Structure 1
Amino acid sequence: MFARPLALTLALATPALVAAAPAGDLAQVQQHLQSVSTMTAGFSQTDRNGRVVTGTMTLKRPGKIRFQYEKGVPQLIVADGNSLYFIDYQVRQVDRWPIGNSPLAVLLNPKRDITKYAKLQPTGDPGVVSIEVHDPGHPEYGRITMVFQKNGTAPGGLMLQGWVALDSQNNRTTIRLSNQRFNAAVADNAFRWNDPRPQGPRGR
C-alpha cells in the first residue's frame, strides 16, 4: 500500500532560515501565483520510505487540483473548489478535508496574500527561489516548502519546480514537477471523480 499522499499538503521539518534572500523574491512569488489560472505538469512523488510514484497534475484556480497517479496506483487526490479528497479505490475509502486547512491552498487561492504566512528560504542560487508556508495558528496543518526556478517565459518570471512536505506525523513527501504548462483551457469536469464507496454518489 502506498503512503497516503495527504503529505502533499504539508512540509519540511528543518527550522526556517529566513532573510537570506531578497524580499522582492516573495513579491515575485505572489505575482507568479496571481498570474496562473491553470497549470498542468507531470509529477514524481517520493515518500519517506523512498518509494517513487509518478502521474499528472492538473490545476485550475480557484480551488481545483487533481493528482492522477500512474496505472497500478489505486489512489486519487482531487480538490473540487471546496474540499480536498483522498480516494483509495483499493479499500473503497474516501477522506475529505477543507482546502483552507492545508498549506496547499497557496496554490489554489489566487487572492491569498502569501506575505502573511510564507517565509523565504535561502537557496545559495540567485536563480532559485524557495518559500516555506505554514499557518502559525494551526501547526497541525503542517508545512510546505516550494521551490521555483527563475524563468522569463513563465508567469511572473517563475517556474514551480515542486515542493517538499512534512505532516504532523513527520511523514515527508517530495514532489518534483516536469513539463509544466500554464494558462491553457482546462474543463471543470477534469476534477470529477468516481466514488468507490458502495452507497456513495457516483461520478462526483
Structure 2
Amino acid sequence: MTRTFKIFRSCVGAAAPILLGTAAFSVPALLPATPALAASPAEQQQLAAAVAALRGISTLKADFLQTDRNGGSVSGQLTLARPGRIRFQYEKSARMLIVGDGKALTMVDYAVNQVQRWPIGNSPLGALLDPKRDVAKFGTVRPTGNPNVISVEVRDRSHPEYGVITLIFTRKASAPGGLELTYWVALDSQNQRTTITLSKHRYGVPVSDNDFRFNDPRPRNRR
C-alpha cells in the first residue's frame, strides 16, 4: 500500500461519508445520536447558509490539493454529483483513484493492484452530498474573525470514532448559495489530520456515469 493511499484512508475515516451521504452500510447510524450543542441565532443563520450552499451543488468539478500533517501533498481533480457520487482523480505519479458510487468508496491503488471498498454510512463527511442529515444536525459554527469566511465543525458526539471534519466556506456571489467550499480538514480517531483544498470550481458541469467507474487492476481469478 502506497503512502498516499494510507494518507487518504485516514482522511476518509473522518471524511468519506460527508462526501457520499448515505447510511446504507451503517448499523450504528440507526442508533440514537447526540447532535451539536445549541447555537446562537447568528450561528444558526451561518449554519443554514452553509447547508444551503451544499444543497445548491448539483455537479462540481474542482482541482484539489491533499496535504497531510507532515506537509506531504498530492494533487488531482475532484468530480462530484449529488446524490452520493464522487471521484478523486489523483495526479498520474500517485497511481491511485478514489471513486464513490453513493453506497461506498472504492479506493484503487494501481501501484500494487489493490482495491479496497470503504463503507461510508457513519463519519461526519457525508454532509457534502447529504447536508440535511449531517451538517444541520451535527454542525457547530466556529468563529473565524472574518465575516466572509464560515467555519463549520461536524462531528457525531455519540460516536467519536467517526472523527471530525471542519468545512471552510468563503463568500462568493457566483457560488451556489453565495458560499464556496474552499477546503476541509479531516481528523480521524487516531488524530491523523488531512487537508483537502479546492480551487478552480466549476459548477453545473456535465458529469457522466463513467466518471464514477474504474478499471479493476486485480487478476480476474483473485477478485
Q: TM-score normalised to the size of structure 2? A: 0.81
Deviation at 1:7, TM superposition (A): 3.2
- Indicate conservation of the 8 Å contact 2:97/2:108, yes or no: yes
State the partner residue of 1:143: 164
Contact 2:161 2:189 in 1 (8 A): yes
Aligned equivalents of 1:90, 1:71: Cα separation in 2: 11
- Report the CA distance shift for 1:199/1:137 in structure 2 as closer, same or farther (over 3 A): farther
Does 1:6 find its partner at 2:9?
A: yes
CA pair 124-188 structure 1, distance change in 2 beyond 3 A? same
The alignment status of 1:119 with 2:140, answered yes or no, reads yes
* Structure 1 unaligned residues grouped into runs of 5+: none
Q: Which residue of 1 aligns with 2:28?
A: none
SS in 1 for 2:54: helix
Q: Which residue, 150, 166, 173 being the options, matches 1:129?
A: 150
Q: How many angstroms does 1:169 deviate by?
A: 1.6
- Higher helix fraction: Structure 1 or Structure 2? 2
Q: What pairs with 1:27-42 in structure 2 (closer than 5 Å)?
A: 27-42=48-63
- In structure 2, the partner of 1:81 is 102
Q: Is residue 87–residue 93 contact of structure 1 (8 Å, CA) maintained in 2?
A: yes
Deviations along 1:99-154, one digit per CA (max 9) or x if unpaired, are 22232211122553522111111111000001011222322221110100011111
1:159 is aligned to 2:162: no
Q: Is the 8 A contact 1:45 1:52 kept in 2?
A: yes
Ranges in structure 2 where 5+ consecutive residues have no aligned partner = 16-35
Distance 1:45 1:17 in 2: 30
Does the Cα contact within 8 Å between 2:114 and 2:218 map onto a contact in 1?
A: yes
Paired letter, 2:58: S
Given that 2:96 and 2:110 are in contact with CA atoms closer than 8 Å, whether structure 1 keeps it comes out as yes
Aligned to 2:69: 48
Cα distance in 1 for residues equivalent to 2:124 and 2:96: 21
Percentage identity across aligned positions? 55
Q: How does 1:61-100 map to 2 (within 5 A)?
A: 61-100=82-121
**Offset at residue 200 of structure 1 (A):** 7.0
Alpha-carbon distance change, 201 to 161 in structure 1, aligned in 2, over 3 angstroms: farther
Deviations 1:178-200 (A, max 9, x none): 00111222111101011122237
Structure 1 residue 90: Cα displacement: 1.3
Query: Cα–Cα, structure 1 residues 2 and 127, in superposed 2: closer, same or farther, change >3 Å?
Result: same
TM score, norm. by length of structure 1: 0.88
In the alignment, which residue of structure 2 is the partner of 1:174?
195
Q: Deviations over 1:25-75 (max 9, x none)?
A: 100011111111111100011112211110000000111000011111011
Q: Deviations over 1:144-174 (max 9, x none)?
A: 1010001111101100101011112211111
